[in-house]
Amino acid sequence: MTIPAEPAIVRRLWPVERAALAAHLLRLDACDRRLRFCVPVGDRAIQRYVDEVDWLRSDVLGCFVAGELRGAAELIRHPRTGPAMAEASISVERAFRGNGLGSALTSRLLLSARNRLVRRVDMLCLADNAMMRRIARRHASVILSENGQVSGRIVPSPPTPGSLFAEAAAESAGVARSMLDIAVPPDRPAGLLRRA
């Protein structure tokens, strides 16, 4: 387990950040790629996957540590059901696990689902994906196991003014902290910014 030197930032990713998403997924080793995609995938398949993300139908969230994308979560709405049903997937780089990054991504993902009127979120994973099984046990109302796969079904609550405000506030804070990372050169500690 690696302890991040600074707090993680969870925020929405945008299409212009495809390269950061691809770099994160490409840093996953062969085992973690299989756990994330449920099949073995190579570099070209990952790049193709990122190139084909439908940003209008998906919410893609990123977890940044020291300005680098170290975890990602996707909420993909099923085209035939409108916003009613969606599938969730989460990945966290091995060296950054055990620090709550997966939980932070899941919480934001479920808040996003709730505010987009998603009535059911399915989390599918292989039976040996311990991280996703823990997340499913924590959040899912129904867990099914069949043919080496585990499926967790989550039923988000309806949106409220409070949940809409919570997402907007979290996103604003994440963007503001990301802008600070960009504004402060890596060789200058952020604490010096306040005294400048």
Condensed to tens digits (0 to 9), the pLDDT of residues 130-189 reads 777 777 777 766 677 777 777 788 888 899 999 999 999 988 887 777 666 554 544 544
Per-residue CA distances from 137 to 10, 118, 145, 151, 155 (Å): 22, 20, 12, 10, 13
Rounded to 5°, the CA angle 128-94-96 comes to: 130
Give the global pTM.
0.80
Instruction: Return the structure tokens found at 15.
Output: 């299409």
Say if residue 110's pLDDT is above 50: yes
Mean pLDDT of 48-53: 96
pLDDT of residue 196: 33
User: In whole angstroms, what is the distance from residue 90 CA to residue 72 CA?
Assistant: 6
Condensed to tens digits (0 to 9), the pLDDT of residues 2-37 reads 555 567 899 999 999 999 999 999 999 999 999 899
What is the per-residue DSSP string for 130-143?
Answer: HHHHHHHHHH-SEE
**DSSP 8-state class, residue 3:** -
Say if residue 193's pLDDT is above 50: no
pLDDT of residue 194: 35
- Residue ranges and CATH numbers for the domains of the chain are 9-167 (3.40.630.30)
User: In whole angstroms, what is the distance from residue 104 CA to residue 107 CA?
Assistant: 5
